[in-house]
Each structure stands twice: as C-alpha cells, then as structure tokens.
Amino acid sequence: MIPFKYNVRNLRVRWKTTLMTVLGTALLVASSCILFGLVEGLEHSLKVSGDPLDLIVLRQGATAETTGGFEGKKADELLTLGGILRDGDGPVGAKELLNIAVAERASGTYNNLIIRGVQPASRKLRPDFKIVAGRDLEPGKGECIVPRSVARLYKGAQIGGQLLFGEKEKYRVVGMFTAGGSQAESEVWADLKDVERNTGRDGSVSCVQLRASGPAEFDQLRKEIEDGAQFRLAAHPETKYFESQSDTSTFFKAAGTLIAILLTFGAMFAAANTMFSAVKSRTREIGTMRALGFSRGDVLMSFLGESVLLSLLGGGLGLLATIPMSLISIETMNSSTFASVNINFRFGPWVMAVAMLMTLVMGLFGGMLPALRAVRLEVISALREL
Amino acid sequence: MGASPSIELRGVEKEYRRDEFVVPVLQGLDLTVGEGEYLALMGPSGSGKTTLLNLVAGLDVATRGQVIVHGQDLGRLSESEITRWRADNVGFIFQTYNLIPVLTAAENVELPLLLTGLSRKRRRENVATALRVVGLEGREHHYPRQLSGGQEQRVAIARAIVTDPFLLVADEPTGDLDRNTADEILELLEQLNKEFEKTIVMVTHDPLAARRAGRVLHLDKGRLVDDVINEPHAPAAS
C-alpha cells in the first residue's frame, strides 16, 4: 500500500489548492449544516417534551390553539372528569387562553406575539419549564413572564419593564423562563384571568391541556371529550398535535435536503477538479510507483484516500464553523398562527451524520474519476510524462 | 561473463499502433544475457533500446516471441502477476531519478520494501544498508530537493537495490549528470555488478558509460547490429 504520508504531504505541498478546496467544501458543508440545524431547531421547537399522556383539547374543527376557542364552562366541566391525573393541588389540567397581539420590537418594528393566559397547572404540563431570572407571576396582578428571546427582542420586555399590546393590554414583566426550547419559548405567559380581562374574552378559553392518569384513562378521556354530548370537542394527543404543526419544518427539510444534495454535487466537482490536477501533476510519480510494483488497486486507494482526506478537512472545518451558530436564535413566523416563533439552531447527531455523509460522498465520488484516471495510466507513458 | 542465462529473448518483436499505422520497434530479436552480466544497450534514438529495456523489466509485453527472465516467461504473466514479479526481481534506475519529492531519501528507498511484508524495524535496517552502500549515510532525512543530482541518483540506486533484486535496469542513468558525477554513478553501478553480482541492463548514449559494461549491444531500427564484449577492467576514460 502506498504510504498515506505521501498523500498528506502532497496536500501540504499543494497547500494553496488544498486550502481553496478545503474552504469551498467547508462552506458547502457549513451551509447544509446551518440549513439542517435550522430544520432541527424548528422541529424541536414544535415538540414539547411532555408526557405521552397529555391531551390538548380544542374546539372541533380547529387546527391550532389560536383558532380553537370554546366556552370556559365546558372547560371547567371537562377538568372534573375522572380520568385526569390529580396531585395535591387538584387535577393536572389547565385552561389556557391565547391572544395574538402586535408588539413593538426594541428595533422599532412590530411583530405578532402570542400571549398565553395560563393557570398554575400549565407549568406542570411542561416539565422543562423553569424560571431562570426574576420570579414567577402572581395571578391577578397584571404580571407576566417572558422567555429570553422575547426579553432580548421586544421593547419593555426586560424584568421590571412593561409590555404593551395596544392601549388596553399591558403586563409587568417579573421573570424570565425557559421551556426546553419548545414553542412556549416564543410566548409571553400571563395569568389566565388577566388575559381574559385585558382581551374582553371572559368565559372563553383557547384550549385545555391535561394529563390522563394512565393509558386506559387517556383513551377513555379522549372518547368522553370527543363523543360526550356535553363536550363535542377535539382531544388531540399532544405529540400528534405538534406533528400536525410541523408542516413548515417538513417543507424546510425537503428543501434543505434538495439544497444539500445540490451543494454536495458542487463540492464533488470541486474535489474532482483538485484531484484531477493532482493526478495530472503526479503522473510520473504514479508511473514510478507502478514500475516499483504498486498495483492499480494501491494507486486507486491512494488517490481516493487523498480525496476523502481533503473532503474530511473541509467537512470538519465546515462543522466547526457552525458551532457558533448554535448560540444564535432566529425569529420567524409560525405559518399556522402568524405569530413570532424563535428557533435555535440545533446541531444534533442527525445534522452531524448528514454532514459526515455529505463529506464522504464528496470525497469518494469526487475522487473516483481522477483516481480511475490514475489507475488507467500505462506505466511506460506515465514514466515519460514530464 | 555469467554462465547460466538470466535473460533470454527468442524471436522477440514489438510493434506499436499509431492510429491506423503499425510501427515496428523491435524485429526478430534473439538474445541471451548471463547471470551477473553488465549489459549496455546503445543505438540511435528510435532504435528500440528503451523498448528492449522495458520488455526485460516487465514494463511492456512483446508483440511476438518470448521474453524469459530468471526462468519466467513474462508473456505468460497476468498484469497483477507481472506487477508482483517486478517488485520481487527488478530494481529501476531512471535518467531523471524519479524520486517522490514529498518523501525523504529514506522514505523513497523504503517504498519498494512496503510491498514485502517486512517489519518496520527490518525495513529501516535495509534502508540504512542500501543508503550506506551508495554512500549516503546521514542524508536519510533529506528531501530530494535538498540533494544534488548525483545524490538523487544515488538515492534512486539505493531504492533499486533495497529489495535485493537480481536485475537492475537503468535508463540513461547518467544522462542528467555532469561528467564527474556520472563517473561516480557508473563506478557505483560497476561495484553493484562486481561485488553484489547484480545483472545490469543499461541504456545509454554515452560511449564512456558503455565502456564500463562487460558487454555492449548496438541496436539500429529494432535489430541487433553489434554485440561487443568489453575487455575486462577497461579503463574509464575521463
């Protein structure tokens, strides 16, 4: 086998070409990673790491919490059903009222924000919920808590500030929370009663979130809520509900995959170009090694190895370049609610695997044709090459 | 010189195709070279001397006839077999040295040993021995660009002998060197032939180089036109 240091040193000697190819590959891998990291972040934001026994109850026919209002009386009655998990504070279930309001950003522009009126049990239904600064809101006092992204982006959203939505609706910010990167981290949370009062929607809720006490009760609760004459509501298992909300991410994922494939092809051509020139400039070396007794297979492996190494350098650099992106969150719009959603880039194993796959494909396929050209060289002609 | 035949050519013909034309390069060549013989091939350009060298070294295949080297009919070997055969039996010395520029002298010399399955330690020992034989101790870690032309050719010779092949083929080994350096290289080849009993086939245009060989073959238009046995210990002209 031709020693690998031969390839490593050749890459070093041709450092300018190597650097150009590595940077090109790195950019392509980084672009794909960012795209997939965004998709993964979006998907993650739509998943609440809640209990599989959680149900979201909406008006029948409603596709989202923001369009699913029904009477508060029905909601109260619903929370008395037997199959709901109970703890020392009562049923683990909460009425919630969502309002989409226009808020002013610190930059002076405006955007839709979701204000979620919550009850104490709302926190239990989101196990990753945590107050990270300030304190939790006290019911009935016109207070709210905000996620970090909202505090950063919106005027008056810092602790001690006041969030204003139009003329009537205002909340004093008393704390900052996290919710495991879920969609809740794009919302302002206030007390249910305060939101009802501020929006003039007394006696109405957007949804009820609850947890069943067991799998059998889960099914029973769904049946009662959906078929019971007094309810006739839609009870969505939480996981399925959020799956249905992830159409946007499916689109991004499909587009991302297509773009990644195109970028991979681009990088393959770059790698092929570099390797073709490597083979051309080292024709006599190839002839010499073949004369010395190295087989065509040895030559093939050597040049493929060099191509893969080149791509791996680029891929590795591309991945490193994406690390700072994981600290960034971007604000986009939920296509169902038209409200602002904050997405953090997430570079999980899937994104890493895609990047590695892209890199290997680039190296192997980009290097294949040049390596085959090297393999096909006749020893005598190669030795004559200047 | 040597009694048992090391190289035998029987009715060897070699043709190349250039588009629709067939170009004969070697025609009806019969030749026997003894074990340990030092053969110089001379002749004008296009006379077929390098083609003959390539046939003997297993780099090319005769169109007709037999090339038997060390008892092996090279025409019967598959490509992978002949590649292996070259690694085991032939050491190559080229006019332009053909060293790998990104490898040090020692690493260049070690290359053929990578095909042998020897341990790293044994390879290092063999490399050191080969470099000592060619007088390049202390230059192991030099890259080709850090060596003179003569030193580069010495490294190439060390690479050619490191696996202890029975046959050395040299294509214009002194073609790129000045007279003094060329003489040193020829001296070294003579030493390898006499002390280590290597069979050497050398293509050269240089009559002074040819005078070092034990036997000189003259080719013209693909045919053997003269076969001269040099006087032993012929003086090296300067």
d(CA B213, CA B229): 9
Contact B180/A at CB under 8 A: no
pLDDT computed for residue B237 by the predictor: 46
pLDDT at residue A325, rounded to an integer:
79
pLDDT at residue A3 is higher than 90: no
* CA–CA dist A96, A206 (Å, integer): 6
Reply yes or no on whether the pLDDT at A70 is more than 60.
yes
pLDDT digits (tens, 9 = 90+) for A123-159: 988 878 899 999 999 998 999 999 988 898 898 999 9
Residue B154 in contact with partner chain A when CB distance is under 8 A: no
Over chain A, what is the mean pLDDT? 85
pLDDT in the model for residue A94 = 94
Contacts of A332 (CB under 8 A, 6+ apart): A42, A340, A341, A342, A343
Is residue B192 a contact partner of residue B170, using CB atoms and an 8 Å limit?
no
Angstrom distance (rounded) from CA A216 to CA B113: 73
Q: Which residues of B127-146 are buried (b: 16+ CB within 10 A; e: fewer)?
A: bbebbebbebeebbebbbee
State ipTM: 0.91
pLDDT at B238 over 50: no
Pairing of strands B167-171, B90-93: parallel
pLDDT at A121: 92
The pair of three-digit structure tokens given for residue A77, joined into one six-digit string: 């009655």
User: Which letter, b or e, does each residue of A104-113 get, where b requires 16 or more Cβ atoms within 10 Å of its Cβ?
Assistant: bbeeeeebbb
The confidence band for A32, taking pLDDT boundaries of 50, 70 and 90, is confident
Residue B157 identity (one-letter amino acid): I
Indicate which of B54, B83, B123, B157 best probes the interface with A, i.e. most A CBs within 10 Å of its own CB. B83
Q: Tokens in use for A61?
A: 């026919």
Over residues A6-15, the pLDDT tens digits come to 888 888 888 8
Residue type, B147: L
Per residue in A199-234, pLDDT tens? 888 888 999 999 999 999 999 999 999 998 888 899
What distance in Å separates the CA atoms of residue B226 and residue B231, rounded to the nearest whole number?
16
* Neighbouring-strand partners of residue B223: B220
Contact B100 A293 (CB under 8 A): no
Displacement of CA A111 from its chain's centroid (Å): 21
Q: How far apart are CA A310 and CA A326, in angstroms?
A: 26
State residue B146's pLDDT score.
96
Instruction: Please report the domains of chain B, with CATH numbers, ordered by start residue.
Output: 5-229 (3.40.50.300)
Q: What is the Cα–Cα distance from A267 to A6, expressed in whole angstroms?
A: 23
What is the C-alpha separation between B223 and B14, in angstroms, rounded? 11
Residue A74 host element (H or E):
helix A72-78
pLDDT of B56: 96
Statement: residue B2 has pLDDT above 60: no
| Average pLDDT of the residues of chain B | 91
Q: In this complex, which of B60, B83, B159 lies closest to A295 when CB atoms are compared?
A: B83
The token pair that represents B29 in the structure block: 């060549």
SS3 B18: strand
Between A230 and B113, the higher pLDDT residue:
B113
Q: What is the pLDDT of residue A246?
A: 63
Q: What is the rounded CA–CA span in Å between residue B39 and residue A98?
A: 98
Q: Do A3 and B107 touch (CB under 8 A)?
A: yes
Question: Checking DSSP bridges between strand B199-203 and strand B167-171, what pairing results, if any?
Answer: parallel
DSSP string over B166-202: SEEEEESTTTTS-HHHHHHHHHHHHHHHHHS--EEEE
Are B112 and A292 a contacting pair at CB < 8 A?
Answer: yes
Note the pLDDT tens digit of each residue in B50-108. 999 999 999 999 999 999 999 999 999 999 999 999 999 999 999 999 999 999 999 99
Identify the residue among B25, B100, B176 best suited for mutation to test binding to A, counting A beta carbons within 10 A and taking the highest. B100
Q: Do A291 and B86 touch (CB under 8 A)?
A: yes
Residues 57-76 of B with CB under 8 A from A: 57, 59-60
CA distance A347 to A362: 21
Cβ separation A10–B102 shorter than 8 A: yes
Residue type at B181? Answer: T
Q: What is the mean pLDDT of residues A296-323?
A: 90
Give the dihedral of Cα atoms B121, B122, B128, B134; nearest 10 deg. Answer: -160
Amino acid code (one letter) for A33? C
Show the tokens assigned to A300. Answer: 């093939």
pLDDT by residue (tens digit) across A222-280? 999 999 888 889 999 887 777 676 666 677 778 877 887 887 788 778 778 888 888 88
CB count in 10 Å sphere of residue A352:
15
The encoded tokens of residue B106 equal 């020692």
Tokens of A297: 């297979």
CB B166 within 8 A of CB B16: no
